[in-house]
Amino acid sequence: MHRIVLLGPPASGKGTQSHRISELLNIPHLSTGNILRKEVENGTPTGLEAQKYLDKGAYVPDELILSMVQAWLSERPDGWLLDGFPRTLAQAEALQDLDGVGKPTLVLGLEVPKEALVSRMEGRRECADCGKTVSLKEGDEEICSDCGGKLVKRSDDVLDSFLVRYANYEELTMPLFDFYAEKGILERIDGTVAPDAVFAQIKQHLETNEVHGEA
């Protein structure tokens, strides 16, 4: 069974790769960022609380994320893929101990240097309907090729917010590479290459995980 965590800095391609992995393995995929943006859009109490953090690029409090993720995981006993969670050591430790939820079997760490991320962030659009992430080039139509939905720029994809998110990532999320390396389940992925080439690396690790990841 696959219980996978995808780690990586903002705009490193986590969303794109998550969609591919979840399709390939037919496992459910949770993007905590997408869920939070939907909550904000729908004006729910969680959304109103989260909005205070999102646009600034700040991480939302661990308790808020944890209750959301726990509820989702408890309904998915047959494997899962998490994109954007855990993001802090406290979240990673909590995930190891969640009642009735198995521990991660594989952690994929996407590595992309900061300079490359800034230009990716500037061209990044997200489908307002299906959540697909797209890298827009000049002259491209702002319409989702999968579902025809409108492509929009995320409100936190501006330089100030990006720099805060990146600084948080360095300080709070990078330590998770060591956390999972010590558990022997981290695989580092070169995220600087084209999406297909990133996916090819991931597929190799998934095959190994299928054989050894029955914990």
165 binds ligand AMP (CB under 6 A): yes
Torsion angle of alpha carbons 6, 35, 113, 160, nearest 10°? -160
Between 60 and 127, whose beta carbon lies closer to ligand AMP? Answer: 60
- Asked if residue 57 binds ligand AMP (CB under 6 A), the reply is yes
Mark the segment that binds ligand AMP (CB under 6 A) among 51-59, 109-117, 139-147, 175-183.
51-59
Site for ligand AMP in 110-149 (CB under 6 A): none
Q: Name residue 32's amino acid.
A: T
Q: Strand 186-190 to strand 106-111: parallel, antiparallel, or no bridges (unpaired)?
A: parallel
Q: Which of 2, 87, 120, 125 binds ligand AMP (CB under 6 A)?
A: 87
The counts of H helices and E strands in the chain are: 9, 8
The two beta strands, 29-31 and 80-83, are parallel
CA dihedral 92, 8, 170, 137 (to 10 degrees): -150
For residues 194 and 150, what is the distance between their CA atoms, to the nearest angstrom?
Answer: 24
CB of 65 to ligand AMP, least distance (A): 4
- Best CA proximity match to 71, nearest among 24, 40, 42, 39: 39
Range in contact with ligand AMP (rule: CB under 6 A) among 31-39, 103-111, 178-186, 202-210: 31-39
Residue nearest to ligand AMP (CB): 33
Between 64 and 143, CB nearer to ligand AMP: 64
Confirm or reject binding of residue 85 to ligand AMP (CB under 6 A): yes
Which residues contact ligand AMP by CB under 6 A?
A: 10, 32-33, 36, 53-54, 57-60, 65, 84-85, 87, 91, 156, 165
